[in-house]
Structure 1
């Protein structure tokens, strides 16, 4: 075999090796992106369940909290804002702007629900109401499911982001526009504080 033939063979082998690397890296990035997007859909399912429970909570509270109309309306407004932001994030999971808006709206909703719970403490009959207790238990269960789904989403996003940033995968990621995905993080200072427990 001539030198020209050997050089040509080596060149073809190098091109095939690069092509296989690009193919493998591209497919891995697509797989990881699809996994974290699927993880977000699990968050979305639980958030929708939460949104569906809130009107029941408000309706139950209305009967007891006639003087707290402003609080109840604020809870519904926060729910509607969170639903809208969640839909935008579900359309583009991991998109930094959509995720930031969803996290902010969810923090607002959580704050309004906390405010409602504080106000409801002044209404013992409301706390004792069986419908209220049922809705509250369903909300607690849903919050736990949301937490687990967020953890799975963040794990998927971290794996994807790490894979797209390491060399030489970053060359493929940049070439084919595999963009950075945003983690779901708590945006309120209260969420970062350790809860204070008092038995006195």
Structure 2
């Protein structure tokens, strides 16, 4: 079995914990480490159709999955209208997939600032310049604006723009998929009950 860097060797074909957050903690990077893997964030579009895009998992705090974005974005408007989402994280090299469906709430300003400071310089600059006006420019104009921002700010540490914001997903359903080359794949499906406990079912892969 392939083990991901910094993660325990928890498999869905071994003993299944009663609490899926324990298994998530074994699969996801430890809280406080660098931003985690990319994940597909699916929201309910303003037109009623599903809406999906790729974002970074900023952190998993043991209870919630955090991500950050521009508060002027389409996803921010969709979450304001319907604060529910699904995130999908795939590790092809380890034949694993985690799908989390739940309720979404904004994080504190302090948490959002800490997440910004943990971003690479490239992603910090991107948060400043990557807006609707820039998207409409030619490739050459986009590079020119990027270079102008870099020249103006130099190597000084960047503060997050006022449009920087964060969200956290509190899971209601968690699906852990594990593939195999010598047998069938399978999934563990956890559903949160009204009392906060979890119901577990084994699903075919």
Q: Per the shorter chain, which TM-score range?
A: under 0.3
Higher strand share: 2
Higher helix share: 1
> TM-score, normalised to structure 2's length?
0.23
Question: Which protein has the larger Cα radius of gyration, Structure 1 or Structure 2?
Answer: 1
RCO higher in structure (CA 8 A, sep ≥6): 1
> TM-score, normalised to structure 1's length?
0.23
